[in-house]
Amino acid sequence: MSNREIFIILSPGFPESEEDSTCLPMQQQFVRALKEMYPAQEIVVLTLQYPYHHRAYEWFEIKVIPFGGRNKGGLQKLLLRKRVNSTLKKLYKECKIVGMLSFWYNECAFIGKKFADTHGIKHYCWILGQDARKGNKYPKLLPPRSGELIALSDFIQNEFEKSHGVKPEFVIPPGIDETLFDNIPTRKEVDLLGVGSLIPLKQYDIFLEIVAEIKNQIPEVKALLVGKGPGKERLQLLLDNLNLESNVKMTSELPYNEVLKLMQRAKVFLHPSSYEGFSGVCMEALCAGDHVISFCKPMNNELPHWYIAKNKEEMAGKALSILQDPMTKYISSQCYTIRDCARQVMNLFGG
């Protein structure tokens, strides 16, 4: 074994290049923050499903080893586990592994925890969303201990305990990189903004129905919906049926920096998702000076300019009151930074 000390991160996906800004933006910002704050610590990322190739590459001076799993099951999943384990054994022989962090309690944590437990390595899993739900089979396959679990939010902490009978000991919310935002004052010309995957879970039909409701009071209301997904055609049809052609613009997925600029032009950010651990996009909207309205409350404490609605009618009413109130101020509200996030995680490893 050499004197090299490496810190391993396991993730289902990771950017395929430095230009790939839309792939897990919070996670990639977190990894970059680790690199900047702990430059002496070598970081190696093992990404199981995406990118769809097996060629190791450098990403901002960080080694990334992809396994191209493509979310396949059956025999392919078993072969994937074998390949990842072989790589971990090779790294273990060549270097000293000082810690392992898995994103989501899924295949990553399954492989990471088993390997770490076998070799006496400190391992934490960061529970980030859907993995806290009852349908997740991995906590039954490999029961976790409370002290090795990090929840993304108070909600996720409670949800995981309710679903799997183990309460994560730590809560570390997502952070944002405030330096990515433009300091130049921007005119707030978009009344309502939505950003996310166009899938049923995100409920963007409610977004359009709220725009239609507000249109009754503000005929010239301007809304923008950014995202891609299987629900796009259905949403376009709903938009037409609600006669919102002159009020709503739908655009496909945009580069991350362009989305941040759009947020700085928006007044109200609507996030009608039916389930959310702690939406990083809502945090970004707050930093951009938007008022945020969602159905899911991530933290027990109140967050400035973030309102929780019980239903569609309440969400529409709150959005309307914000837009119609001449005293509404649109100022940046920053709760958690990505550097704070990175520091808290590394403190668990004794960093």
Average pLDDT over residues 310-339: 94
Q: CA-CA distances (angstroms) from residue 101 to 45, 52, 92, 262, 346?
A: 10, 22, 15, 33, 10
Give residue 2's pLDDT.
Answer: 67
pLDDT category of residue 180 using cuts at 50, 70 and 90: confident
According to DSSP, the β-strands at 170-171 and 190-195 are: unpaired
Give all domains of the chain, ordered by start, each with its CATH number.
Answer: 5-175+338-348 (3.40.50.2000), 178-324 (3.40.50.2000)
- pTM, to two decimals: 0.93
pLDDT over threshold 90, residue 185: no
Q: Which long-range contacts (CB under 8 A, 24 or more apart) does 257-263 make?
A: 257/21, 257/180, 259/195, 259/226, 259/284, 260/180, 260/181, 260/182, 260/284, 260/288, 261/182, 261/186, 262/190, 262/193, 262/195, 262/224, 262/226, 263/193, 263/195, 263/288, 263/289, 263/290
b or e along 49-60 (b: 16 or more beta carbons within 10 Å of the residue's beta carbon)? bbbeeeeeeebe
pLDDT category of residue 272 using cuts at 50, 70 and 90: very high
Give residue 335's pLDDT.
Answer: 74
Q: Which residues contact 309 (CB under 8 A, 6 or more apart)?
A: 293, 294, 295, 315, 318
Give residue 1's pLDDT.
Answer: 56
Share of the chain above pLDDT 70, in %: 99
Give residue 211's pLDDT.
Answer: 98
CB-based contact 123:113 (threshold 8 Å): yes
pLDDT over threshold 80, residue 3: no
Q: Summarize pLDDT for 136-149 with one digit per residue, the tens.
A: 999 999 999 999 99
